[in-house]
Amino acid sequence: MSIFLDTGKISEVERFMEMGIIRGVTTNPTILLKDGVTGGMAGVRKQSIQIAKMIEPYPLSVEVTNNDPRGMLDQAREFAQWAENIVVKITIHGPEGELENLEVVHRLETEYDVRINVTAMMSAQQCFLAALAGASYVSIFGGRVNNMGYNVCDEIIKLRNVLDQFELKSKIIVASTREILNVIEWLEAGGHIVTVLPALLEGMVVHPYSKETVKMFLDDAARL
């Protein structure tokens, strides 16, 4: 575990899988819409199955599209049947703070053996409760926390400590990555996984001084 790619594009998944530098893929309705997935739920299903096969055995996160408890339960069970490496994303609570989501998470993990990624969290305490509910993954939105004027590293450190202390199975995903430096910073703080957009991942690979050095090597080799 370390880097998950945030995308719904087949070409981007294929590109970075061939490099061997990603360990999973995350999507959500916003990402899929931006990346041009059409055809409603049938389109989401087709794209998800294709990506899941490409990255197997690494996980693919697919998010439920409603916040009705019965609907989330049924949709999550359906998504989980698409491929063995599907992980279902469910938000920590509803848009008005409804609390039924964690009950759904607990039932899916304990009764139906569906792997859940609880998402849209902004604090260690939210993630800790999701871990107690049985979530396989807990996603804290690091970039948004930082934008609120707090250093998410403090939350990651606290969260990792309590997960280890209470021997909870949940893996920490730090999402909403804004800057290249966030990736190493957040992993060093104790995150198991950081989600990265393709453009940011390219920025991690390419360094201006590396480009300058490669050019110097090639120019000198030509003069030989």
Catalogue the active-site residues: 89
Which DSSP helix (H) or strand (E) runs through 1? none
DSSP 136: S
Q: What is the DSSP letter of 130?
A: H
What does the alpha-carbon distance between residue 162 and residue 184 come to, in Å, rounded to a whole number? 21
CB 194 within 8 A of CB 4: yes
Q: How far is Cα of residue 82 from the mean position of the Cα atoms in its chain? A: 18
Q: How many Å separate Cα 4 from the centre of its chain?
A: 6
| 92: nearest Cα among 67, 71, 65 | 67
Residue 64: CB atoms within 10 Å: 23
Q: CB of 77 within 8 A of CB of 112?
A: yes
Contact between residue 176 and residue 150 where contact means Cβ atoms under 8 Å apart: no
